[in-house]
Amino acid sequence: MKKLKTALISVYHKEGLENVLTKLNELGVEVYSTGGTYKFIQEKGFEAKTVESLTSYPSILGGRVKTLHPKVFGGILARRNNDTDLKQLSEYQIPEVDLVIVDLYPFEETLANTDNADEIIEKIDIGGISLIRAAAKNFEDVLVIASSEKYGEFLSLLDEKSGSTDIEDRRYFAAHAFDVSSHYDTAIFKWMSSGRIPAFKESIRNAKTLRYGENPHQKGVFFGDMDKVFEQLHGKEISYNNLQDLDAAIHLIDEFEETTFVIMKHTNACGVATRDNLLDAWIDALAGDPVSAFGGVLITNRVITKEVAEEINKLFFEIITAPDYDDDAFEILKSKKNRIILKRKPVEFPKRQYRSLLNGVLCQDVDLVVETTEHLEAKTSLKPTKEQVAELLFANKIVKHTKSNAIVLTNNKQLIGSGTGQTSRVDALKQAIVKAQSFNLSLEGAVMASDAFFPFADSVEIAANAGVKAVIQPGGSIRDKDSIDYCNAHDVAMVFTGIRHFKH
């Protein structure tokens, strides 16, 4: 156990500091401070000594150098069980410092608010990060508080142990300090390198422990800030699998500007419809596969009204996500205790995505390509009509977000059948046809979208025989001509996008 006697305090953010000062004053801890922090301490009526009185040097270079001095770092880094260290402290009249309370300049906040390089550079902390690292390194003798988020724990510790700390306390706070400093350095590296230096450095300090992972015997944690994405209005705690479905649902619905409803199941869409009004969109999305919709995740890009909520409430589902809910609609939907009701917030998602595998991490750009008419190249003598082009683009948005091998069949802006995650494209197509037929959804005049090229003409033949009249695919097979020739012989329009959308 070590009793706190001398503290160095230098913080950018002053929130919560007064409570800390009050406690340190009660314990008789001597305080050294700098600049704005020293002024704050005086204004609050507490005593402190300036760092300048210790070093005999003023703050110089516009505040860039304040604490970088042996008389400061010596008192922090000195090993209390090392006679030579203690002798040198005495020789150079350096006081022992056993508490360091320092935070860092707001680099990430500055980066988010300006492109001015000079302003950003001046928020790269030097003295603060050096003090944090020094104190954390010498955790056997020094306690470090590296951000105001730990003030509450710190004050509880002082109350519990009457101003003393043990080695585990100090090691815990030191680990937190290195968490703060490494996160800070990662943000600076990413800005400095701008992707030019190939190194995997990501840091997310927000962590939420989940009930379990993908299965109950697996532990799960979400690193991120869900509160920036949506507000949970009702229901049980969101699970690992819920988050995967939500991620897939959000990225699919964001492809659509028109009034659209999506039903997700295990990260694949089992119902999608675009209509002039939301009620019709819901009814037709559900009709696409009412069996798979049971226990699914619902998402829309419009406000949920009472009449829509009344229809939705007839189905058992896990989650609903929308921009907002009318009061009457919310009252209806929250009638189920565990049902998760989420209200989306405007947020910009990362443009890179990662997947851990083997002994490393895969990294790639997020697939942000959204095909338009400009991407389409008609390959058959029969050109798609204007209506078919709109339908093909609708289907292509869905297949982009469907597990490969994937085939999507749509008609009148309604998903009527999908084949997901199959080992062959023919199997995916057959699955999609069976889905449509099992729910009595007409394939006559439907369109087909494929996430990748057709290696043979067999898929086109099967689709045409089922009633499909237009096909959208990336193209690129050495046998593209076979598929085109079949379409020409059977009055099926085919367009190429030149863009593949594999999704594992």
Largest Cα–Cα distance of the chain, in whole Å? 98
Percent of the chain with pLDDT over 90: 90
Residue 68's pLDDT is 81
Residue 366's pLDDT is 94
Percent of the chain with pLDDT over 70: 100
Alpha carbon 443 to its chain centroid, in Å, reads 39
Pairing of strands 340-344, 352-357: unpaired
Helix (H) or strand (E) holding 318: strand 317-322
Residue 35's pLDDT is 84
Average pLDDT over residues 428-438: 96
Grade residue 306 by pLDDT with cuts at 50, 70 and 90.
Answer: very high
3-state helix, strand, coil in the chain (%, to 5): 40, 20, 40
Closest C-alpha to 35, from 48, 20, 18, 16: 48
Does residue 34 surpass a pLDDT of 80? Answer: yes
Average pLDDT of the residues of the chain:
94
pTM for this model (two decimals): 0.86
pLDDT tens-digit map of 383-405:
999 999 999 999 999 999 999 99
Dist. CA 425–CA 159, nearest whole Å = 66
Does residue 234 surpass a pLDDT of 80? Answer: yes
Task: Please pick, among 5, 190, 251, 266, the residue that the annotation labels catalytic.
Answer: 266
Residue type, 159: D
- Cα–Cα distances (Å) from 94 to 53, 78, 478, in that order, read 12, 10, 78
Q: Which residue has the higher pLDDT, 18 or 35?
A: 18
Dist. CA 44–CA 195, nearest whole Å = 45
- Residues 265, 293: contact at Cβ < 8 Å? yes
DSSP helix/strand/coil, 190: helix
Cis bond leading into 19, ω under 30°? no
pLDDT tens-digit map of 442-475:
999 999 999 999 999 999 999 999 999 999 999 9
Dist. CA 50–CA 8, nearest whole Å = 10
Does residue 238 surpass a pLDDT of 80? Answer: yes
pLDDT tens-digit map of 51-96:
888 887 777 787 777 778 888 999 999 999 999 999 999 999 999 9
Residue 57's pLDDT is 79
Does residue 364 surpass a pLDDT of 80? Answer: yes
Closest C-alpha to 125, from 176, 168, 81, 64: 64
Residue 393's pLDDT is 98
Grade residue 186 by pLDDT with cuts at 50, 70 and 90.
Answer: very high
Active site residue 266: yes
Residue type, 367: D
pLDDT tens-digit map of 309-337:
999 999 999 999 999 999 999 999 999 99
Average pLDDT over residues 90-109: 93
Residue type, 424: S
- Residues 48, 40: contact at Cβ < 8 Å? no
Dist. CA 143–CA 157, nearest whole Å = 11
Residue type, 13: H
Does residue 284 surpass a pLDDT of 80? Answer: yes
Other Cβ atoms less than 10 A from the Cβ of 381: the count is 11
Active site residue 351: no
pLDDT tens-digit map of 290-302:
999 999 999 999 9
Task: Please pick, among 44, 49, 137, 490, the residue that the annotation labels catalytic.
Answer: 137
Does residue 436 surpass a pLDDT of 90? Answer: yes
pLDDT tens-digit map of 187-207:
999 999 988 898 898 999 889
Pairing of strands 470-473, 447-450: parallel
Grade residue 44 by pLDDT with cuts at 50, 70 and 90.
Answer: very high
Closest C-alpha to 415, from 298, 293, 288: 288
Residue 54's pLDDT is 86
Other Cβ atoms less than 10 A from the Cβ of 390: the count is 15
Average pLDDT over residues 15-39: 94
pLDDT tens-digit map of 6-18:
999 999 999 999 9
